[in-house]
Amino acid sequence: MDDSSTPSPRPQKGRSKGAKFLVVCALAVLMAIPALLVFALLMERTNRAEGVAREIGDQMGGEQVFLGPVIQIPYVIPTRSSTDEKGNRVVLAQESGNLIVFPQTGKASAATKSDVRSRSIFRVPVYTADLTFDAAFDLKDVQAARPGAVLIWDKAQLVTGATDSRGARKDIVAQIDNRSVMLAPSGPGVTGLSPDGTDFDLFAAPLALTDTSTPLNIKVAMTFSGTRKLGILAYGKSSEAAITGDWKHPSFGGGFLPVTRQTDDLAHKGGFNAQWSVPFIARGLPAVIDQSQMTTLGKSELSVTFIEPTNPYQSVGRSLKYALLFVGLVFLTYFLFESTSKKELHPAQYILVGLAQITFYLLLLSFAERIGFDAAFVVAAGATVTLIAGYAGLIFHSRWRFIAAFAVFSALYALIYVLMRMEDYALLVGACSAFLVIAAVMVLTRNINWYGNRAEGE
């Protein structure tokens, strides 16, 4: 039998480019699993950093919010009475409480000196603040706020407060007209007076008021330490506050924003200066309230937060949000190299490239905790770009592929850094970049035979 008549086997057709592209897309989506594991690790490190901040806060006083001087006046309201044998009225039951009288005008100032406390690799901004509160009281119309009540003026108290009394660095002294009075802890504080709902420690001194027809001027000085945030409640009908400090990265918040603020170079030393003004109508509380209404005052906080610019966790978290996008872009680059060469890559090779990119975030997180985000990004991005570009040069056996991959991947990781630093425009830049990349891929792949089972033009 003539073997020459036996038909030769037809060459095996490779997988179509379209099917391979779908596989590559599926592998890019699969990289979400290791990305989620890295995100879980990031959350664990973030929680650890918050735990360290709370531990230091327990020693320094935590995030402090202060209440300027107000006057507390006990009162009773008879609810049931009778007449004795001599015709005298006898009170059988009565309602009692405390009125809180706010000053007509309240002016507060705080000057802070900042530092950074470290524990292991974690850093927490701390401060020491010298605070001064001025208050001018008019007590003539207090009775009108609670008709029918008997005000116990001889038991009236001057009251101030802070979130955590453990931050006190000096005794609190008040100047009441021309005499000095030292304030003492006033038992349990007010729950929920702080904006975050925590308890509030109060300090009080007896006033024993006898003459309510003349204005009363009070000045209180205190020195407290705290961490990360300092706030002052709008304690007057009309309130003004000024907070200055040497921290270079403040963030102003609370119920009201400052009317003026300066975060430029102050006296060539750096720092900030902020001024608040809260009119009576904006505060939303009358001049005299019942003590049970004090929690509403927490909405009037005037505060500054000391931002730690070297905190890496927020920046790493933002970069992780774009992980799948940039994994997909690198996979697309490899797919274009594969489509324009005779080398066919195995899905396992794409997975290796994807894992190298996910490892970038581990490198970024671990180095950022030690040397800061900017330097860590240079190290992690440089190592990752060199690895995946060198891998492209090796598997395609082409120096030009390596150079092209290095240029493209460097541009991609530079784009990641830009997105991290342009918080306000990150979405706009990311969307425009994604659109341009997709457009470029569509142009570059316009001549690819996606089916792969027939010649072009059939």
The strand pair at 288-290 and 184-185 is best described as unpaired
Residue 42 one-letter amino acid: L
Output the six-digit token pair for 102: 């706010």
In tens, the pLDDT along 187-216 reads 655 555 655 556 678 898 888 777 777 888
Distance CA 204, CA 372 (A): 45
Would you give the DSSP letter of residue 12? Answer: P
Q: Is-contact 173 225, C-beta < 8 A?
A: no
Q: Is the pLDDT of residue 247 over 60?
A: yes
Q: Which of 237, 71, 230, 217 is nearest to 155 (CA)?
A: 71
pLDDT of residue 189: 57
Residue 22 one-letter amino acid: L
Distance CA 425, CA 423 (A): 6
In tens, the pLDDT along 5-59 reads 444 444 444 567 667 778 877 887 888 888 888 888 888 888 887 777 777 766 7
Distance CA 149, CA 155 (A): 15
In tens, the pLDDT along 116-128 reads 876 666 778 889 9
